[in-house]
A = this chain, B = another copy of it.
């Protein structure tokens, strides 16, 4: 990756000289020069790695609503102050707290073998240990067809397939149905518990955690456990051999009442249009199995470091740049909904929003969902990002990232700098999401892209409102 760093720094320099004379009116030569300098600085800077190292090492795992997440907010405030943000604050909210507790799961027939599993978010505990025969379903469609109360006393296992690796994460939403709503069919069938193949693209012995979906206002009343892909393969082979399967299960996961969480907000106040907010961010919480390096320590590091580099410019950009470290994302976008509600009155001043929450591999594409003139601005920005290996994507793609959903639903314009997600679902929500998985040079490329594009957007005279 040293090579990538050298190449991109060189390319950044040459494209700048070549385009100097042909600069379009939407971006001034001075702005372009500043953006180019930001990219060069970002590619050589260690700030992003320092931030994600500090967060994962000094705070560790930080489940939404936990004491660790509170420590992370304090850390975020201190970080913002040290990096020269003009205003730093926490906006608190309350939320129900789900605790993973202790789990033990093993195969008991045809023989005793430990399984590598974890409770899914929202799952109920076992009252005492369960030991039950397994009813095997090849996929969630097969389970959806069962009759009510036809699975009494059984542990349901929903198999499925390992996710195919892809740049875009295609296939996650579909595969994730077994994690999201599998419990509704199993519970309707009267099953004692549900076990599902993890949703992930790795063949390692790690379960992938993640939140289930409510059924209306109701959470699952049964334990729901994800097991690793190799464990699911094992059960499938035994099932195909006609072996009767049974599983022993003890899980203490449960809801534990209302707690506090919060969003950390760091502002660089705009020099000309301080009320117009360009919002970037990531989520501060993580699942509790790993240390949340890739999901989403990386997003926190990328957006905070990008804004911090902009903060070092001689002059603030015209618009306000706001970094939001969202709380409690993993457990249902709770910080995002709280933010959208708490800022309901001034959401129309949020002229653009985007989140980094897809790991730290190289950004390859810039998408947007903006008015026609602002779309032309993004076209020009994409050209400036091109030396980083970034191409222009769709100009009417709703998105911006998970925590942006609630405000985008209320009309806030969005862009998205899409990371290569090829390895993302190897690590997603597993114990293996740790600092060593982040490549410093890829992280620096992300920061370069964010710094340049967010600076150009915030400093632009182009109207961004819809």
A residues whose Cβ falls under 8 Å from a Cβ of B: 53, 57-61, 68, 71, 107, 110-114, 116, 203-206, 229-230, 233-234, 237-238, 241, 243, 288-291, 430-432, 434-437
Q: What residues of B have a CB within 8 angstroms of the CB of A431 in the complex?
A: 114, 116, 205
> Can you give 8 contacting A-B residue pairs, CB < 8 Å?
A57-B237, A58-B238, A58-B243, A60-B107, A61-B114, A68-B111, A205-B432, A230-B434
Q: What residues of B have a CB within 8 angstroms of the CB of A57 in the complex?
A: 234, 237-238, 241
How far, in angstroms, from A58 to B206 measured CA to CA in the complex? 22
By the criterion CB–CB under 8 Å, are B206 and A205 in contact? Answer: yes
Given known A204-B204, A205-B290, A432-B204, contact A113–B234 (CB-CB < 8 A): no
By the criterion CB–CB under 8 Å, are B59 and A111 in contact? Answer: yes
Report the minimum CB–CB distance from A430 to chain B (whole Å): 8
How far, in angstroms, from A290 to B116 measured CA to CA in the complex? 10
Q: What residues of B have a CB within 8 angstroms of the CB of A434 in the complex?
A: 203, 205, 230, 233-234
Q: What residues of B have a CB within 8 angstroms of the CB of A238 in the complex?
A: 57-58
By the criterion CB–CB under 8 Å, are A113 and B290 in contact? Answer: no
Q: What residues of B have a CB within 8 angstroms of the CB of A58 in the complex?
A: 110, 238, 241, 243
By the criterion CB–CB under 8 Å, are B113 and A61 in contact? Answer: yes
Closest residue of chain B to A116, judged by CB? B431
Report the minimum CB–CB distance from A284 to chain B (whole Å): 15
Select the residue from A59, A237, A434 with max chain B CB neighbours within 10 A: A434
How far, in angstroms, from A237 to B50 measured CA to CA in the complex? 12
By the criterion CB–CB under 8 Å, are B71 and A111 in contact? Answer: yes
Q: What residues of B have a CB within 8 angstroms of the CB of A237 in the complex?
A: 53, 57
How far, in angstroms, from A53 to B230 measured CA to CA in the complex? 13
Partner of A234, one of B111, B203, B241, B291: B291
By the criterion CB–CB under 8 Å, are B233 and A436 in contact? Answer: yes
Select the residue from A290, A435, A436 with max chain B CB neighbours within 10 A: A436
By the criterion CB–CB under 8 Å, are A113 and B241 in contact? Answer: no
